Structure 1
Amino acid sequence: MSNSKFIQTKESVTNSKAYKSTSLKKEIVESVAEETPIALIYNGISHVVMMGTPSNLEDFALGFSITEGIVNKISDIYSIEIENKDNGIELNIEIASENFANLKEIRRNLTGRTGCGLCGAESLSQAMRIPKIKNSNHQFDSKNILKALEIFSKNQILQKKTGATHASALCQNNGIIKITREDVGRHIALDKLIGASIKHEVTEDSFIITSSRASYEMIQKIAYLNLKLLVAISAPTGLAIRLAENLGITLIGFARESRYTIYSHNERIIE
């Protein structure tokens, strides 16, 4: 089988034949999530290859560039061109010369796993960077967090079809979800959300829900939006809790439609 035939469709969801254990001879059709190699290329130089869902790729390019510290603001990105190849997708990103010079100093050249977060960082200081974040006294009504959680599951279209994707959502303080992004990789889903969010006006009393666990780099990423609340469906890591505490971010884990657990800065949550 040739590489091009093995690799790819550019669709986010495709159909696959399958067989249930209860009826092994009966062929059925199942919807499956696709993943494809996505190369991020800055000013003609390949930086990283990630495995992700081939949708909302401009959002991914924007979000990754911001949260990895490659650029400082959206105006540092001059253009994004998406090019389909036989064996994957290239995101050709043109950035300001000053940012590109800095990128060459810290450049990673690797093939990542599905949406890996810190894979390939060249030094501990690079991997463990702590973003600057503004202080604020924003508080969040518990009822609105639960309201957003109820809506969140309904907005996960790819997950409903395939059972294989993660999602991140930007929520207004009143519990209304403004933007949702999905991907097979949890970090890519969050990068896509951040990329989509920075194209709109994001108020600092907004918050983010993610369908995954809350790890250190997830806290790093939301700090770039100066947001003060991350709600995770699964558990947080100890390092994520300590970083959230340090940055003044409220971290919630084990979030369900009727309950959740607060791990840092519980004073932000009001009844």
Structure 2
Amino acid sequence: MNDRSETLRPARHSLAFSRLTPDGASESVDRALAEEVPVAIEYNGAGYAVLMATPTDIGDLVQGFSLAERLVSREDASLDIDVYDTGAGIIARATLPPHRTDGLLERVRHRASESSCGLCGIENLEQAIRPLPRVTATSQADRVAIFRALGALGDHQPLNAATGAAHAAAWAGADGRIRLVREDVGRHNAFDKLIGAMARADASWDGGFALLSSRCSYELVEKAVLADCPLLVTISAPTRLAAERAAQAGLPIIALARSDALLARDPD
């Protein structure tokens, strides 16, 4: 595997700004900005998607994205991924196993949205909200563990500490200790990177949970379910669709997770 994603390019750069204050003063300051580049993902030689992402942990990103797109399952081996920096962006070339080729062709067909006929529109809507499997894993974490992870998350976000512009996705154990974190300018990318890193390391949730520095969108719920995450904790609130999809899949969610309170919802 030619995964050189850790050394492709830095995750942040500094630019000069003028700092203005209400009293009319100004000064020149250097500000670290998070990097964001196009990442083109190819499967078996076919272009599939272009994501805007932080150029780190690209192999993890592709692995997690592939699971979220249902091109592979948790039972499949890690993908063979080649990552290249073209200057204009990054190309990630992944090879799917032979028994997943039909699924690739089906997903490519549904992602091609040039047609706007009524029947195609209905078909695309059905693909947008596809049935989810049931979560089979169980979290052993209590509220003490969740507050512990919340308090420690900032110490595991170096890119956000430098730029104030990156999301984090963390895997916390049942005791609340943070075991792994991935950062990205996109909340979906950060979670894909975390899920991908765990899949490539053949790591299970081990009674723990996922902690995300974002709102709980339905896409993040779906990623959690497909990764068999036993508990999803997010800093901000869920949408109604996210809460409903989580309940249907048997995924407990905790939202508006702050240092002084949590908002919990168990599946129906």
TM-score range, shorter chain: 0.7 to 0.9
Q: Measure, in 2, the Cα distance between the counterparts of 1:78 and 1:50.
A: 18
Uncovered stretches (5+) of structure 1, i.e. residues with no partner: 1-8, 111-121, 267-271
Q: Measure, in 1, the Cα distance between the counterparts of 2:152 and 2:141.
A: 17
CA shift digits 1:203-260 (9 cap, x unpaired) = 3522000000001111110112212211110110001111111112111111112311
2:3 aligned partner: none
1:1-271 alignment to 2 at 5 Å?
Answer: 10-22=9-21, 26-73=27-74, 75=76, 77-107=78-108, 108=111, 123-135=124-136, 138-198=139-199, 199-265=201-267
What root-mean-square deviation, in Å, do the aligned CA atoms of Structure 1 and Structure 2 show? Answer: 2.2
Deviation of 1:183 after TM superposition, in Å, equals 0.3
Q: Measure, in 2, the Cα distance between the counterparts of 1:74 and 1:82.
A: 23
In structure 1, what residue type is equivalent to 2:191? L
In structure 2, what residue type is equivalent to 1:40? I
Deviation of 1:73 after TM superposition, in Å, equals 3.8
Q: Measure, in 2, the Cα distance between the counterparts of 1:135 and 1:169.
A: 20
TM-score normalised over the length of structure 1: 0.85
Higher strand fraction: Structure 1 or Structure 2? 1
TM-score normalised over the length of structure 2: 0.86
Taking every aligned residue pair, what percent have the same amino acid on both sides? 33
CA shift digits 1:112-139 (9 cap, x unpaired) = xxxxxxxxxx712221123313445544
Q: Measure, in 2, the Cα distance between the counterparts of 1:103 and 1:161.
A: 38
Q: Measure, in 2, the Cα distance between the counterparts of 1:204 and 1:131.
A: 22
CA shift digits 1:8-62 (9 cap, x unpaired) = x932110011011126653211001010000001111110000000001110011
Q: 1:244 to 1:73 in 2, by over 3 A?
A: closer
Helix, strand or coil: the match of 1:54? coil
Uncovered stretches (5+) of structure 2, i.e. residues with no partner: 1-7, 114-122
CA shift digits 1:103-159 (9 cap, x unpaired) = 11221359xxxxxxxxxxx71222112331344554431111100111112211111
Contact 2:34-2:54 at 8 Å conserved across structures:
yes
